Structure 1
Amino acid sequence: MLFWVIAAVLTLGASLAVLLPLTRQAEGEADNSHDLEVYRDQLGEVDKDAARGLIAPSDADLARAEIARRIIKFDAEDAPRSKGGSQLASRLVGVVAVLAIPVLSWSVYTVIGSPDVPSQPLSARLSQKPADTSIDELIARAEAHLVANPSDGRGWDVLAPVYLRMGRADDAITAYRNAIRIEGTTAAREAGLGEAIAGSSGGIVTADARMAFEASLKLEPANPKARYFLALALAQEGKLAEAAIVWRQLSDSLPPDSPWRPVTEQAVAQAEGRTAPANEMAGGPGPNQGDIDAAASMSAGDRTAMIEGMVATLDEKLRQNPRDPEGWLRLVRSYQVLGKTDLAQDALGRAYAALGRDSEDGRKLTELAGSLGLKVTE
């Protein structure tokens, strides 16, 4: 009922705002007709006064001339308004339109509208039971709570892994850091922070991510997430054999129902060359098990030559297809690991040219360059 009262008041106000000017125009025209009658009465009064000798004939002529001049001027100003019944017709059309629009709109709304549906403000939706709300509304409720209570470490601790599962890595980093700052450090929080930092860097285990994983292992040496990602860091540095050993040890130590077991076994299979192409996360086509066995029997020089050949292959692929952010990250890291800082610096410059320094991929390159000690110049 309140809705209809408000709607009626607003409609009445809008209609009066349009109708009043039309009313004033009609009153103005009535006033103009009255002025003309006054001028005519004044002429009659002058004639009567002259006939009775109350005014001199010359003064009577001057008065008649002045009144006649005013009548002529009035007729000239009023002429544009008197074009048949056009002004009256225009006013009638305006009045009909003003009255018809509210009637028509209200009629349509009663057919297709829903005036009886109650409003649903955000505060009311957030106060619903969790089972009756969507995940987005639950997150919005938690975020609203943390805006009002930023020192609620438990809230940040709960929201951080949710952000991580949703792919909101930057938000997860903020949440984990707030939880650590307020609630204190734990192995799970440090490992989650490291995973969020790696996710924000496109899967690259940066120096900051490595520090978080190492902090997690200090608190819990058997933490599977930290062990997995530190092995991934070895693989990304080109140390596939070492990464495979760490992953194998992790896989053997995990219970059969651990969620990390299938992921780790897949990583072992990739590192050992049992799946094709095995080493995308470490830098393009990697060595299979036969390559690893052959490398074990090689001299140090031959082993280095094999690795350099793999890096050169990746470099050539990036020259042909420069729109490969992960490839550039691997190439820059590989050259630096090999001790070829000049080539790493050159690859960084080419990567900036291909991807853009200010892009998201460019920022990841800058972060990697900083962790490797490379110069980032304009």
Structure 2
Amino acid sequence: MLLWIVLAALTAAVAAVLILSLARGARSAGADRAGEIAVYRDQLKELERDRAQGLIDAEQAEYARAEIGRRLLAAADAANEASQGAGPRKIGYPAMVVTVVPPAIGLCLYLLLGNPGMPDQPLEARLANPGNNIALLVAKAERHLAQNPNDGAGWDLLAPIYFRSMRLGDAEMAYRNAIRILGTNPARLAGLGETLVAANDGIVTEDARLAFEEAAKLDPTNPRPRFYVGLSHEQAGRRAEALAAFEAIAKESPADAPWMELVNQHITKNGGTAVAGKNAPQTASPEKALGNPSQEDVAAAANLNQGDRQAMIRGMVDGLAARLKEDPDNLEGWLRLVRSYSVLGERDKAQEALKSGLKQFPSSGELVALANEIGLAVEGTMQ
């Protein structure tokens, strides 16, 4: 209550200063004009002295006297008007209204609608009941952890949220704190590894590789950390080890597993032959299992001229793009679409496909690695 009283008093003081300034304005103008008139009179006297001493001829003196006289009369008229308008009674109503009315209206509205009892820190109330506001939930958790830094469950909760928000430095800190306090498990180790990969533009660093290897030991059935281990071998130029790692994943994975296409791409890249996966139907070729062109499609394309072949490829790429619009939850499809546009020389479409893929899979180190491989920009795409 005291605050608004002080503010009202300050407002009244400012209004009073403005009113007094307006009241003195006419008198100040009159004083200025009086000084100007004195200057012109002095100029007339000097002109007469110069004429008497022969410093200026009669004709020039008459012209100068006429000009000075004109200015003297104008100043005298202005001074007369200012003196007649001087005094508080001549302050215009618009000036009074602009100076006084807004503060008065503001004060009345505050007295009518204001709430002097409102808490000084409304953020406290919002944090106490954040509802479904993720930003407030994160802020509440961060405040709790600042007061309880050894709460491993809190760090474990925040780490994946930081990662999905691409706050990679905070995510790494949270994962490391959770591991330090709660110990290792496959999810924490894999999360730490993926954070390090994303922070290094798709490169599997030594710390990331060690995290993935330990995660794979704790959960050998999870192909994700094993894939990153194979990727680290590939990036280091150890093609035989990379091929063995990718082939092991493919042989142990169902034929219709969503990661099979990506794994087979790396198998082929490292000199191997695509694997159909376990329990794959014998009648289905590996190409069909992956959704790639069959041998018959390749043979038919070989018999086409350049224009028809290009049209066939364009149709396949457009069909893939249409399928991803209907079913965007397909990481391998986004990888193939980005690479296809790059091969066709359509970098703008490749960049747009990369952006859409990272929007659907913000934690995908595979997409980041592919972007670095073909020279697409990743910075800013994952925001």
Normalising by the residue count of structure 2, what TM-score does the alignment of the two structures yield? 0.49
Say which structure, 1 or 2, has more relative contact order (CA 8 Å, 6+ apart).
2
TM-score normalised by L of structure 1: 0.50
Higher Rg of the two aligned structures: 1
